[in-house]
Structure 1
């Protein structure tokens, strides 16, 4: 993502870390607690789709109220993931690049 398109992953990570630090939440942001919070937020995202048919789930963004919920839960998942990575010193972009590379080797095109 370029600067013209909005903040990059590092900028977003810095912002969520600074937000939590300014509120004194650091003592609560242990790897265990952040992993738990990440799981809860992912479950809240899943809850939106829980009883939808495949067709309904594919169209969920067409309903603005549902689309708003999806965007909020995606933001919560990403925020906790970025905080988790910051606490453990994981570069999320590099972790994803490495995983994609391994998957390309594991699952080559025919």
Structure 2
């Protein structure tokens, strides 16, 4: 299967570190580092979340797996979710944060805050 860039899609886990490094290089070679302040990246992230929200805005409840969506709609969703992820990864990097470790730490905190309840 090929994506819109003509690249072959492979089922491979991609690390946050790989995304971080690729984004840093992408920005550096284009001279964009000067524009990638935390504030600017946050505003760009919010804009992308808005675009992602628009996809769902008038659809009502959507079934898991999106069984009734066209391949074009799914591709559009994939692009907007990717934009959100990429800006989030870049924002964390510019702020000097380890996003992966921070997320794991947050999961542990949430587990303590919301313990499993016995539903019997």
With normalisation by structure 1, the TM-score equals 0.89
C-alpha contact (below 8 Å) 1:85/1:92 kept by paired residues: yes
Shift of 1:62: 3.3
| In the alignment, structure 1 residue 7 sits paired with structure 2 residue 9 | no
CA–CA distance in structure 2, aligned partners of residues 36 and 78 of structure 1: 14
CA–CA distance in structure 2, aligned partners of residues 51 and 104 of structure 1: 34
Q: CA 1:16 to 1:22, structure 2 compared with 1: closer, same or farther past 3 Å?
A: same
Moved more, 55-64 or 89-98: 55-64
Indicate the SS of the match to 1:5.
coil
Q: Could you tell me which of 64, 72, 89 is aligned with 1:65?
A: 72
> Which blocks of at least 5 consecutive residues in structure 2 are unaligned?
1-10
Deviation readout 1:29-69 (Å, 9 max, x if unpaired): 00000000001001100100001110468636731111011
Indicate the SS of the match to 2:76.
helix
C-alpha contact (below 8 Å) 1:60/1:66 kept by paired residues: no
Residue aligning to 2:51: 44
Q: Could you tell me which of 102, 107, 118 is aligned with 1:95?
A: 102
Equivalent residues, number: 107
Indicate the SS of the match to 1:62.
coil
Residue aligning to 1:77: 84
| In the alignment, structure 1 residue 109 sits paired with structure 2 residue 107 | no
Structure whose alpha-carbon radius of gyration is higher? 2
Moved over 4 A (4+): none
Residue aligning to 1:31: 38
